[in-house]
A and B are shown apart, each in its own frame.
Chain A
Amino acid sequence: MHETLEDFALNNGLRDVSPALKLALGLCCMLLSVSSPAPVAPLLIACSLTLVVLFSAGIPAGFYLKLLTIPASFAAMSILVILFLTGGGEVLVSVSLPGLPLTVTTGGANLAVLLLARISGGMCALFFISLTTPATEIFSLMRRCGLPAAFIDLSMLIYRYIFVFISEAEMIYRSQVMRLGYGSLREAIRSFGMLAGALFLRTWESGERLMVAMDARCYDGRFGALDETPPVSAPALVAVALYLAALLGIACLTMQTTIF
C-alpha cells in the first residue's frame, strides 16, 4: 500500500504545482479544521479537498475511498465512547442495559458531530498532502526551511529503510510460514522475535554497505540531491489564498451552529 500511495504522489494531476503551496494548503486546512468550533467549515474542507483530489489530481475514487476507511473505522469507535461519556443538555436517547445505563445527551451528540467533522476535514487535508506531494519534495522543502542536515539525512535513510525492511520482512515471514513457524502462540513469538532480530541485523549490514558506498562517492554528511521543485505560480497562489480566506470566513460566520 505504501508504494501505491507514493506512486500516486509521483504521478498525479497536481505534480507540477509547487510543493510548498500544496503543503501550506494542507496544513492550513488542518489548522482550520481542528480550531473550528462548529462542524460546518471542517465538513466543507473535507468535501472540497475530496473533489480536488478526485478531479484535479485524478486519484481513482476506489483507492481514495479505501484509504478513508482506515481512519473511519477508528473514528467511529472513539466517537461512540465520546458520545456516551459526554453529558450536558437534554437527554436524546436512553438505552438501559442491565447495570450500564447509556444515555445520549445533546451535549454529547454535538461534540461527537464536531469531532467527526474535524477528523474528516483533517484526514482529507492529510491525504491531500500525501497523495499529491512526493516525499523527496518534502525533504528538499525541509532543507530550505533550515532544519539540521543530520535530521534530514536521517529522515531520508529511514524512509529508504522502511521499504528495505518491508520487503525483507515479507520474504522471511513467508519462509517461516512455510516451515510452520506460526503454529502456536509460543512458536509465533519465537518466530517473530527471530524475524525481527534477523531483520534488524540484515538491514544494519545493508546500511553499513550503503555508508561505504557513499563514502567512496565523497559523501560528506549531506546528500547532494538536485532540487527540482516547481516554482509557485501566481494564479495557483491566488486561488489557494481565496479558498482559505473563504473557508476562514465561513468558519467565523457559522461559529454558533450546532445540530442538536
Chain B
Amino acid sequence: MEGFLPGPWWQIWYVISLPFIIVGLHQLNRLVKTQRDTLPALAVAGAFVFVLSSLKLPSVTGSCSHPTGTGLSAILFGPCIAAVLGLIVLIYQALFLAHGGITTLGANVFSMGIAGPAAAYLIYRAGTRAGVNTYATVFLAAAAANIVTYIVTSVQLALAFPGTAGFLGAFQAFAAIFAITQVPLAIVEGAVIALVFKYIVTLKPDILTKLNLLSESAIERLREAAA
C-alpha cells in the first residue's frame, strides 16, 4: 500500500532488491538473445502472475493475501528472471489496480519476486534431484513460494512497526493474522499450479524440454503414468 512503509525501510528494501533485478535483467538479455522464441513464454508467465495475484483477499495487516503465482515462473525460468517478472507485474498492479505502490515496490519485489521464487526454485531443484514425484514437487514449490512470500512480508512489517511488543512479538502478531488466510490459500495454489503443470506435460511438453527442465524420457514417463 502506497505510503504505508515508512523510511528508512522502503529505501532499504529497494537497495536489497536491486542486485537480484540486475542479475535477472542480465539473464533475461542473454536468454532473449539466444532463444528469442522464449519471449512470449516469459510474457505469458508474467501475465499469469498478474492475473493470479490480482485475486486478492483483504487481510488486517496493511498488506493483503493473495495467491502469488510466482512459483511457476521460478520453476520455468529460474529465480532471477522470476524477480524481473515480479517487478513488472508489481508496477502494473500499483498503476492499474492500486495494489501495492511505488514506494513499497522494493519491499514487495523482495517478498513476492525474490524470496518466494527462490524458495520455489530450491525446493523444485532438491525435489527433482531426490527423485520425488514431479507433481508433488511442483505442489510443494508453488505452495512454498506463497508461504515464504508472506513470512517475509511479516518480517518486513514487524521491522517497520515493532510497536510495544518488539520485533519478535510484532512478527508473531503479523504472521498469525496472515496464517489464517494464507495457509489454505497456499495449499490451493500449490494444487492449482500442479494441475497447470500437468496440463503442460500432457498437452505441450516441448516447452519443458526446450527450457531444459525435464528430459524427454522423464516426460514420456509422466505421460504414461497419467494415462
Instruction: Provide the residues of chain B in CB contact with A71, threshold 8 Å.
Output: 1-2, 98
State which of B3, B193, B198, B199 has its C-beta within 8 Å of the C-beta of A123. B3
Q: Are B191 and A207 in contact (CB under 8 A)?
A: no
User: Which residues of A from 56 to 80 have beta carbons under 8 Å from B?
Assistant: 67, 70-71, 73-75, 77-80
* Residue of B5, B44, B59, B103 contacting most chain A CB atoms (<10 Å): B44
Q: Are A78 and B4 in contact (CB under 8 A)?
A: yes
Q: Are B44 and A74 in contact (CB under 8 A)?
A: no
Assess whether B92 is interfacial by the CB under 8 Å rule. yes
Complex alpha-carbon distance, A125 and B103, angstroms? 11
User: Taking the nearest CB of chain B, how far is it from the CB of A71, in angstroms?
Assistant: 5
User: Taking the nearest CB of chain B, how far is it from the CB of A7, in angstroms?
Assistant: 12
Instruction: Provide the residues of chain B in CB contact with A155, threshold 8 Å.
Output: 88, 91
Q: Are A85 and B4 in contact (CB under 8 A)?
A: no
Complex alpha-carbon distance, A207 and B44, angstroms? 8
Assess whether B168 is interfacial by the CB under 8 Å rule. no
Complex alpha-carbon distance, A155 and B50, angstroms? 12
| Interface residues in B, total, Cβ within 8 A | 68
State which of A86, A119, A158, A194 has its C-beta within 8 Å of the C-beta of B47. A158
Assess whether B46 is interfacial by the CB under 8 Å rule. yes
Q: Are A119 and B1 in contact (CB under 8 A)?
A: yes
Instruction: Provide the residues of chain B in CB contact with A183, threshold 8 Å.
Output: none
User: Taking the nearest CB of chain A, how far is it from the CB of B66, in angstroms?
Assistant: 12
| Interface residues in A, total, Cβ within 8 A | 75
Q: Are A158 and B7 in contact (CB under 8 A)?
A: no
Instruction: Provide the residues of chain B in CB contact with A204, threshold 8 Å.
Output: 40-41, 44, 204, 207
Complex alpha-carbon distance, A238 and B86, angstroms? 36
Assess whether A118 is interfacial by the CB under 8 Å rule. yes
Assess whether B131 is interfacial by the CB under 8 Å rule. no
Complex alpha-carbon distance, A87 and B51, angstroms? 39
Q: Are A118 and B44 in contact (CB under 8 A)?
A: no
Instruction: Provide the residues of chain B in CB contact with A150, threshold 8 Å.
Output: 25, 28-29, 32, 39
Nearest-CB residue, chain A, relative to B95: A130
Assess whether A27 is interfacial by the CB under 8 Å rule. yes
Q: Are B28 and A196 in contact (CB under 8 A)?
A: no
Assess whether B188 is interfacial by the CB under 8 Å rule. yes
User: Taking the nearest CB of chain A, how far is it from the CB of B73, in angstroms?
Assistant: 11
User: Which residues of A from 192 to 237 have beta carbons under 8 Å from B?
Assistant: 192-194, 196-201, 203-204, 207-208, 210-211, 221
User: Taking the nearest CB of chain B, how far is it from the CB of A248, in angstroms?
Assistant: 16
Apart from A71-B1, A119-B4, A123-B98, what 11 extra A-B contacts exist at CB < 8 Å?
A30-B102, A70-B97, A74-B62, A78-B1, A86-B164, A130-B95, A193-B194, A197-B200, A204-B40, A204-B204, A207-B39
- List residues of chain B with CB under 8 Å of any chain A CB: 1-7, 10, 25, 28-29, 32-33, 36-37, 39-44, 46-48, 50-52, 58-64, 84-85, 88-89, 91-92, 94-98, 101-103, 161, 163-165, 170, 173, 177, 188, 191-196, 198-200, 203-204, 207
Q: Which 9 pairs of residues, A with B, have the shortest CB-CB distance? A: A207-B40, A193-B195, A78-B62, A197-B199, A122-B3, A122-B2, A157-B43, A118-B3, A161-B47
Sample 6 A-B pairs with CB under 8 A, ordered by A number: A34-B3, A86-B164, A126-B101, A127-B98, A158-B50, A159-B92
